[in-house]
Amino acid sequence: MLHALLKEKIKSADDVANWVNSGDMLEFGMSIQQPDVFDVALAAQKDRLTDVTIRGTLSTRARQVIECDPEQQHFTFENWHFSGYDRKKFDQGLESYVPFNFGEGPGIYRQYRQVDMIVIKTTPMDEHGYFNYGATNAYVRASCDVAKKIVVETCTEMPYCYGTEGSVHISEVDAVIEGDNAPLFELPNADITDLDRTVAGYIVPLVQDGSCLQIGIGGMPNAVCSALAESDIQDLGIHTEMFVDGMVDLVEAGKITGWKKQTHRGKITFAFALGTKRTYDFIHKNDMCLSLPVDETNLTQFISANDNVVSINNCLQIDLSGQVASESSGYRQISGTGGQLQFVRGAVQSKGGLSFMCLSSRYKDAEGNPISRIVQGIAPGTVVTTPRSDVMYVVTEYGIVNLKGKSVSERALALISIAHPDDRKSLHKQACENKILLKKHWF
């Protein structure tokens, strides 16, 4: 019966693209879950369509509905979180960012978003009639709940992940597109620099046995994973929004047991995974891994339900009062709010929890000039991702400071102390001129 139903619902990508009408709102899902065969088919029908809005997140391949329509006469693409590709399209005026805290995603879809059709890449149907969402759970079930039509594009390369709200049944699906089964996009691991290792060296001594980790992606988080793998720390747990290669390293080093977690004991919980094939192979039908909707991973009450949560995040800039900018540079959107603020707050609310904000003291601009990431004030247009009242530890290659309980003057002095040595005098001078520091510190 299931296979008869499947046969009935198998459609070509062109046939499904014919279902799209002008003015429709389409959902493409997130990351490696975004459809490819359907994307091409829909782009080919652009001339009969106007005012079609497509919503997606973290595109890992060029989206043909964008590439085919440089004047936006047919399609508009909205995005919850930018990848490198999305950033370039934003710069060209071809994508619009949608601000949100990642953990609110399911609720936002169920309360505020219209979806005429969702088209997502899934595993092929299993013996029970289910198409598994694979490496991305996030807000997909909520999108399906409000969609007028549900379409899956199957991919034999997609890992099958155990969890909750992680699949859709053939009885709910309007069409099945047999995909091209191309290898999944792989995100290369960022090289670990000496600066990254130095930053990790300030963090790891504060991590206790039995801590529950949320670690982002990039050189600094990779360095923390590497340092933890080589440490004497034991019985760590993972409760994170994003599962990455560095976490596989920790499991293989015997550091992850999850037995000290208060929620989902013995399980690695995550909302989506993005990395190399090594990560996809690891999460595939792995009973230790639990894929959850992002409200269950990212809302602060679920984060703080575990003790000793350790949240490690990167940022682009921090001002002398502690305001953190992690997603934009001026008016240019770089990435997105994601789950940073929710994990900062969840970690601080956790019994024994710690939150770390990591950044290099400097970066180089387009002309190669060194620029301080610690600044007097956030630049105009730059978005504050984490308010100063929420920030705990800040770490650069020059040290670590805890801003909790400190006055603005104390914060400024603390942050100046971990700025690049060549920037400290000018930062101190600016802080004096703008009365950020108390009079006794003026010069």
Q: What is the pLDDT of residues 279-335, one digit of tens each?
A: 999 999 999 999 999 999 999 999 999 999 999 999 999 999 999 999 999 999 999
pLDDT tier, 190 (very low <50, low <70, confident <90, very high otherwise): confident
Separation CA 214–CA 241 (nearest Å): 7
The arithmetic mean of pLDDT across residues 345-356, rounded, is: 98
pLDDT over 80 (residue 443): no
pLDDT tier, 270 (very low <50, low <70, confident <90, very high otherwise): very high
- Over the stretch 10-27, which tens digit does the pLDDT of each residue have? 999 999 999 999 999 999
What local confidence, expressed as pLDDT, does residue 56 receive?
97
Neighbours of 294 (CB within 10 A): 27
Neighbours of 107 (CB within 10 A): 14
Encoded tokens for 34: 């975004």
Encoded tokens for 214: 């949320």
- Over the stretch 89-113, which tens digit does the pLDDT of each residue have? 999 999 999 999 999 999 999 999 9
What is the number of alpha carbons within 13 Å of residue 246 lying toward its C-beta?
Answer: 25
pLDDT over 90 (residue 207): yes
pLDDT over 90 (residue 189): no
- Over the stretch 38-78, which tens digit does the pLDDT of each residue have? 999 999 999 999 999 999 999 999 999 999 999 999 999 99
pLDDT over 90 (residue 439): no
What local confidence, expressed as pLDDT, does residue 285 receive?
98
Encoded tokens for 52: 């079609």
What local confidence, expressed as pLDDT, does residue 441 receive?
85
CB 326 within 8 A of CB 342: no
pLDDT over 80 (residue 188): yes
What is the number of alpha carbons within 13 Å of residue 402 lying toward its C-beta?
Answer: 8
What local confidence, expressed as pLDDT, does residue 293 receive?
98
The arithmetic mean of pLDDT across residues 150-167, rounded, is: 98
Separation CA 99–CA 338 (nearest Å): 9
Average of per-residue pLDDT values in the chain: 96
**What sections of 381-436 are H helices per DSSP?**
408-417, 421-433
Which domains are present in the chain? 2-178 (3.40.1080.10), 194-441 (3.40.1080.20)
pLDDT tier, 186 (very low <50, low <70, confident <90, very high otherwise): very high
Q: Which residues contact 205 (CB under 8 A, 6 or more apart)?
A: none
What local confidence, expressed as pLDDT, does residue 1 receive?
84
- Over the stretch 247-258, which tens digit does the pLDDT of each residue have? 999 999 999 999
pLDDT over 90 (residue 219): no
Check if 8 is active-site: no
Separation CA 335–CA 191 (nearest Å): 20
| Residue 238, SS3 per DSSP | strand
What is the number of alpha carbons within 13 Å of residue 229 lying toward its C-beta?
Answer: 16
pLDDT over 90 (residue 138): yes
What local confidence, expressed as pLDDT, does residue 83 receive?
96
In 3-state terms the chain splits into helix, strand, coil percentages (rounded to 5) of 35, 25, 45
| Residue 87, SS3 per DSSP | helix
CB 237 within 8 A of CB 210: yes
Catalytic annotation, pick one of 27, 241, 327, 397: 241
Query: What is the percent of the chain with per-residue pLDDT over 90, rounded to a whole number?
Result: 95
What local confidence, expressed as pLDDT, does residue 168 receive?
98
pLDDT tier, 347 (very low <50, low <70, confident <90, very high otherwise): very high
> 219-241: buried (b, 16+ CB within 10 Å) or exposed (e) per residue?
bbbbbbbbbbbeeebebbbbbbb
CB 276 within 8 A of CB 187: yes
pLDDT tier, 231 (very low <50, low <70, confident <90, very high otherwise): very high
The arithmetic mean of pLDDT across residues 254-275, rounded, is: 98
pLDDT over 90 (residue 216): no
